[in-house]
Structure 1
Amino acid sequence: MVRFMSKAPVLDLLLHELSLAAPAGFAVGLHIRYVSPLIMVNTYPDAWQEVYTAKLYGLRDPTLAWGLSHTGTRRWSEIGLPDPFGIMAEAAGYGLTYGMIASIGPMSSRTIAGASRQDREFAENEMEHILRIVQRMHDLSEPPARLSKAQADALKCIAEGDRHAAAAAKLGISESALKARLTSARQKLMARTTAEAVQRAKEYGFI
């Protein structure tokens, strides 16, 4: 399970709730911007994830296409979009027999989640329950409006290749102060590493 640098207990609890509601696995991309999600968690079988990635199914998946063009919930069997590559039938071979999609948020920051089970279709109340979980995750992981100047300056130095000592000297602060700024930036960006924080700061135009 992914651990979050900020609001970790609540988000981890929601991920656990989602895993209970989707016994055959789930995949959730939070705040998808420019095709890339802020956070991605996938518990589908590893073998299926490998096939999905290798065959570039993300560009052809009818469930993802539905999530990008609609909000709300829909069973996989009711999406009604073409599946010329037979992705859904192939997924069933990996235990993803029945499933649903939940889509939340504006196109500029869309959250999409898929959930699956092997025994039967999801009931309406189960779909509503999953939608509520995903909505809470979406709300809790909302990207920050901005970084402080101190946080942005610290990340910019690292992005330019400075080591901690050089970055601290450039900014006229101690190394411990620099590390504190980097830590706070990681927390605000919900990044697990400084490199990930730098990448997200660039994507959001903060540096």
Structure 2
Amino acid sequence: MQARVNWAFAEICDRAANVAEVQAAFMREIRDLGFTHAACASHVDPLKPPAEAVMMVDYPQAWLERFSAKNYATRDPVFRAARRQTLPFQWSDQNFRRGLAPDQLRILNEAAEAGLADGITIPIHAPDALPASCSLVIGADGVDPLNAQKATWYGVYAHECARRLRLADLPAKPQLSPRERECVQLLGQGKDDGAMAIILGLSEHTVHNIVRRAMHKYGVVSRVQAFVRALKDGQIRLEDVAT
């Protein structure tokens, strides 16, 4: 039997003005389905997320503080499994637990003590986005399999809506001119002003000023930073630098 989703949820998320509205709608839906807590979020420190991170979490505050203080985001077995696979998995499943290191099992045991004993995690792989997943905590009464199917759809949809809203809040990426891109690309190849001037047929003074303009656009103080930012923004490609 196929689960019937609540399409009104999608309409609410589409009309949401901010992530908080998406989160409120999502938490209402998953509680109606029998889940007790949820974390539809990027795989980062929940108390110190970067600006582009999606954070829709209602885990107990004490657990979030412990998770942050212990830097568990780097070792969480749920995060690691979600990054390696595409299908949902349950924390109590032996296929998931098999092969976990002692410190990873300890994290799961500590989570259980905090009221997060078992759950379902839906891996989320979005292009140009931080690794993420949607974890839904199962209460003592369990969850109907059809409700778990619905929750998977709701989690993925809510994350995408929240991700788009977060991106809209971020400052626009600086746009390099064609000449600035050429110079930054040559920086990645280890060229100095003199070498770039010869390659581009410009004076060293002109090349120096072009590089300075690119650095100014990114608000950075080193040439390496300018190169890395341009690479991360997609304005230059690694394969172009390697040629």
Q: Normalising by structure 1, report the TM-score.
A: 0.58
Q: Any idea what SS the aligned residue of 2:88 has?
A: strand
Match for 1:130 among 145, 151, 167? Answer: 151
> Is the Cα–Cα contact under 8 Å of residues 61 and 83 in structure 1 kept in the other structure?
no
The one-letter code sitting in structure 1 at the alignment partner of 2:53 is: L
**C-alpha separation in 2, matches of 1:8 and 1:54:** 25
Match of 1:73 in 2: 88
- Residues 1:204 and 1:77: Cα distance change in structure 2 (over 3 Å): same
Match of 1:46 among 56, 61, 68: 61
**TM value normalised by structure 2:** 0.51
How far does residue 15 in structure 1 lie from its aligned partner after superposition? Answer: 3.4
Who is 1:24 aligned against? Answer: 36
Partner of 1:90: 110
Q: Find the partner of 1:57 among 42, 61, 72.
A: 72
How far off its partner does 1:126 sit?
Answer: 2.5
User: Residues 140-159 of structure 1 correspond to what in structure 2 (within 5 A)?
Assistant: 140-143=161-164
Secondary structure at the residue paired with 2:97? coil
User: Bigger CA drift: 10-19 or 63-72?
Assistant: 10-19
Residue 133 to residue 56, structure 1, CA distance change in 2 (3 Å): same
Aligned residues: 159
Percent identical among aligned pairs is 19
Residue 80 of structure 2: SS of its match in structure 1? helix
> Any idea what SS the aligned residue of 1:133 has?
helix
Amino acid at match of 1:80: R
Alpha-carbon distance change, 100 to 29 in structure 1, aligned in 2, over 3 angstroms: same
| Per-residue deviation, 1:80 | 2.8
Give the structure with the larger strand fraction.
1
Question: Over residues 105-129 of structure 1, what are the superposed CA-to-partner deviations in whole Å (9 max), with x where a residue is unaligned?
Answer: 3474343011113304444223211
Instruction: Report the CA distance between 1:17 and its aligned residue.
Output: 1.4
Q: Which amino acid aligns with 2:115?
A: G
CA contact (8 A) 1:95 1:118 kept: no
Q: Corresponding residue for 1:193?
A: none
Task: State how 1:192-203 maps to structure 2 within 5 Å.
Answer: none
Contact kept? 2:40, 2:135, Cα under 8 Å = yes
Q: CA deviation at 1:134?
A: 1.1
Over 3 Å counting, the alpha-carbon distance change for 1:10 and 1:58 in structure 2 is closer
Unaligned runs of at least 5 residues, structure 2: 1-15, 175-215, 220-228, 236-243
Q: Distance in 2 between matches of 1:42 and 1:76?
A: 18
Larger radius of gyration: 2
- Structure 1, unpaired ranges of 5+: 161-200
